[in-house]
């Protein structure tokens, strides 16, 4: 369980740096400064934590399910950014609302980086006993600022193609979603299994899918006829 959470934390940091490669340099510096200030100012709360408390949190199914909701929302937002970015690169004329949606998604850095930084601060405080807590926290904050800004620059140099970074960001978020399911379930199932088939519910799902297919096919044919009938102006 702890190994899965650790891998997810690493992927969250990787996704954060990868997402920053699509932003302006001043936005990258500002975002890294916010993360550094958060890390340095949270030492008062970090010293109150313990390893046993963190283990209790990881074993709390209700808390993990709440975390799963936040995780799912962030993964959905990041995947939407990837899909919308690919759409804008491949399509011709783009609507203004699509451009605004892309800008909003691009400026959203993610919120999972903050619990990861807090967990990192707690771990560093445990590793360095006897040292001044503010010194440890603000030293880590400086390291976080350098790593985030330098990592963003290094990622752009390592992967200069935007398409490759976009695909990597999408796949990494998909992996986080899969690991999130494993971490939140933690060996348990959300509902009890049944051995009988609810034929009414199954028929409803089938009818819903068939209706969606028919509606989609008719919409596509109507749109195609309008395109064919539209006169071509030279």
**pLDDT tens, 13-51?**
888 998 888 888 888 899 999 999 999 998 888 887 766
Q: Which two tokens stand for residue 77?
A: 């937002």
Distance set, CA 44 to CA 13, 16, 38, 129 (Å) = 23, 25, 11, 15
SS3 134: helix
CB distance 23 to 31 below 8 Å: yes
Tell me: do 11 and 105 sit in the same domain: yes
pLDDT in tens, 108-163: 878 888 888 988 888 888 888 778 888 889 999 999 999 999 999 998 888 888 88
Q: Which residues contact 81 (CB under 8 A, 6 or more apart)?
A: 19, 102, 105, 106, 108, 169
Do 93 and 208 belong together in one domain?
no
Using pLDDT thresholds of 50, 70 and 90, give the confidence band for residue 56. low
Query: Residue 54: pLDDT above 80?
Result: no
Place of tokens 């939407």: 80
28 is a domain residue? yes
Mean pLDDT, all residues of the chain: 81
Q: Is 18 domain-assigned? A: yes
pLDDT value of residue 150 = 92
Domain assignment present for 59: yes
Q: How far apart are CA 80 and CA 232, in angstroms?
A: 34
Residue 219 lies in a domain: yes
pLDDT in tens, 208-227: 888 888 888 888 788 877 77
Which residues span the domain enclosing 218? 197-234
In whole angstroms, give the CA distance from residue 200 to residue 158.
54
Task: For residues 174 and 101, state if they share a domain.
Answer: yes
pTM across the whole model: 0.71
Residues 142 and 233 grouped into a single domain: no
């Amino acid at each position: 369980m702890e190994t899965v959470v650790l891998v997810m934390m690493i992927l969250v940091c990787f996704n954060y740096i990868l997402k920053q490669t699509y932003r302006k340099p001043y936005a990258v510096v500002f975002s890294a400064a916010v993360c550094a200030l958060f890390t340095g100012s949270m030492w008062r709360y970090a010293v109150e934590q313990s390893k046993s408390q963190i283990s209790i949190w990881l074993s709390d199914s209700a808390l993990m399910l709440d975390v799963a909701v936040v995780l799912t929302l962030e993964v959905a937002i990041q995947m939407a950014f990837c899909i919308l970015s690919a759409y804008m690169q491949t399509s011709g004329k783009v609507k203004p609302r699509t451009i605004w949606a892309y800008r909003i998604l691009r400026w959203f850095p993610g919120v999972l980086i903050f619990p990861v930084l807090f967990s990192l601060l707690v771990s560093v405080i445990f590793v360095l006993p006897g040292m001044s807590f503010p010194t440890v926290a603000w030293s880590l904050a400086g390291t976080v600022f350098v790593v985030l800004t330098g990592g963003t620059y290094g990622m752009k140099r390592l992967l200069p193609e935007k398409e490759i970074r976009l695909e990597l960001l999408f796949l990494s978020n998909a992996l986080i979603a899969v690991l999130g399911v494993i971490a939140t379930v933690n060996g348990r199932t959300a509902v009890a299994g049944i051995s009988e088939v609810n034929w009414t519910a199954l028929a409803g799902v089938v009818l819903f899918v068939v209706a969606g297919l028919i509606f989609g096919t008719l919409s596509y044919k109507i749109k195609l006829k309008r395109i064919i009938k539209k006169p071509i102006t030279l």
